[in-house]
Amino acid sequence: MRTPQGHRPLNQLSQWAHDNYVEYKALKNAPISSRKGRRARWKPPDQERFKINFDKAIFAEENCSGLGVIILDKEGQVIASMATRVSQLLQPIEIEALAANKALEFARELDTSHAVLEGDSLLVMTALKSKNIALAPFGLLIQDSLALPSGFSKFSYSHTKREGNTVAHNLAQLAVSFTNCVIWMEDVPSDVLSSYHADLAGIL
């Protein structure tokens, strides 16, 4: 027979559900301008000529991962975008670090000399900024990435929330449909066009 204490988790769950419902109602009833202010958006680089956004995707059922990269100039115009499938299922933080590495390699190939690398993984971006390669299990990937900015004449790092990284995230999600790396020069695939236009509208 359960003791009265056994009912506490149910009570806590009920309270949690109530609190979240109240929060949801408050957000729903908030003025539109207030709700918009909470959403992070892609922002053009301050001084660098280009911004390189990257993200990862995990496809557990297919036992693989995906990477997405988009490079934009300070006006928000697409320089190039990329989606590639990785034929193994890595840990989320590992595939995020790999995505950063591939994004830098991609940007180097396109000769984007002044750039900022931006991703939504705080751990990966912190490791890159601090040059801390001791963060297991992705220290070696960080080490490889740290060697790449030497090819840029001006380079920096930036962390954003997922909402500010939507196009890169959507590109990574597309990678499950491909067997090889797919690149779009000065364009994005139609599947992510709406999210790109949303970002562009935010800076106009």
Using one digit for the tens of pLDDT, what is the confidence trace for 140-188? Answer: 777 778 877 777 888 899 999 999 999 999 999 999 999 989 999 999 9
Fold of 50-203: Nucleotidyltransferase; domain 5 (3.30.420)
Q: Given the structure tokens 């601090």, which residue do they identify?
A: 130
Q: For residue 96, what are the β-bridge partners? A: none
200 close to 78: Cβ distance less than 8 angstroms = no
**Helix, strand, or coil here: 63?**
coil
Nearest C-alpha neighbor of 121 from the set 145, 103, 143, 94? 94
Under the banding of pLDDT at 50, 70 and 90, the label for residue 37 is very low
Nearest to 107 by CA among 62, 59, 52, 153: 52
Which one is predicted more confidently, 93 or 169?
Answer: 169
Cβ atoms 42, 196 nearer than 8 A: no
Quote the mean pLDDT of the chain. Answer: 81
In this prediction, residue 135 has a pLDDT band, given cuts at 50, 70 and 90, of: low
* Domain range annotation of the chain: 4-37, 50-203
Q: How far apart, in whole angstroms, are the C-alpha atoms of residue 62 and residue 189?
A: 22
Q: At what angle do helices 122-130 and 92-109 cross, to 10 degrees?
A: 60
